[in-house]
Amino acid sequence: MEVIQPNLTFYQKDILFSKARFTVTEASTKAGKTYSHIIWLYGKAHEHESALGRNYWWVAPVYYQAEIAFKRLKKYLTPTGLYRFNNSSFVIYCPNGAEIHFRSADNPDNLYGEDVYGAVFDEASRAKVESWYSLRSTLTSTQAPCKLIGNFKGMSNWLHKLKELCYRDDAYEYFKVTCWDAVKAGILSEDEVMQAKADLPDRIFKELYEVEAVEDKDQLIQVESILKLFKGINKVSKGIKYITADIARMGKDKTVVFVWDDMSVIDVKELSTSSVKESVTLIQKLSAQYNVNRDNIIVDEDGVGGGVKDYLYCKGFINGSKPVKESGEKLGFMNLKTQCYWRLAEYINANKLSFDVDDRELRTNLSEELEYVRLAKEIDTTKIQLLGKDKIKRELGRSPDYSDSLMMRMYFVLNSGAYMVY
Please state the CATH superfamily assignment of the domain spanning residues 10-208 in this structure: P-loop containing nucleotide triphosphate hydrolases (3.40.50.300)
Residue 174 has what pLDDT? Answer: 96
pTM of the model: 0.66
Residue 343 has what pLDDT? Answer: 93
Residue 389 has what pLDDT? Answer: 82
Distance CA(79)–CA(61), nearest Å, equals 29
Residue 269 has what pLDDT? Answer: 95
Q: Name which CATH class applies to 223-416.
A: alpha beta
Distance CA(29)–CA(149), nearest Å, equals 11
Fold match, 10-208 / 223-416? no
Residue 388 has what pLDDT? Answer: 79
- Which residues are CB-contacts of 7 (< 8 A; sequence separation ≥ 6)? none
- Which residues are CB-contacts of 60 (< 8 A; sequence separation ≥ 6)? 66, 68, 69, 102, 103, 104, 105, 122, 123, 127
Question: pLDDT of the chain along its 422 residues, tens only?
Answer: 777 778 899 999 999 999 999 999 999 999 999 999 999 999 999 999 999 999 999 999 999 999 999 999 999 999 999 999 999 999 999 999 999 999 999 999 999 987 899 999 999 998 988 899 999 999 999 999 999 999 988 777 888 888 888 888 999 999 999 999 999 999 999 999 999 999 887 878 888 899 987 666 678 888 889 989 988 888 888 899 999 999 986 545 689 999 999 999 999 999 987 688 899 999 999 999 999 999 999 999 887 788 999 999 999 999 888 888 887 777 788 899 999 999 999 999 999 999 999 988 888 889 889 988 888 765 555 577 777 787 778 777 788 999 999 999 999 999 886 555 43
Q: Where are the domains of the chain?
A: 10-208, 223-416
Angle between helices 276-290 and 305-312 in degrees, nearest 10:
50
* Residue 291 DSSP symbol: T
**What is the Rg, in whole angstroms, of the alpha carbon atoms belonging to the chain?**
25
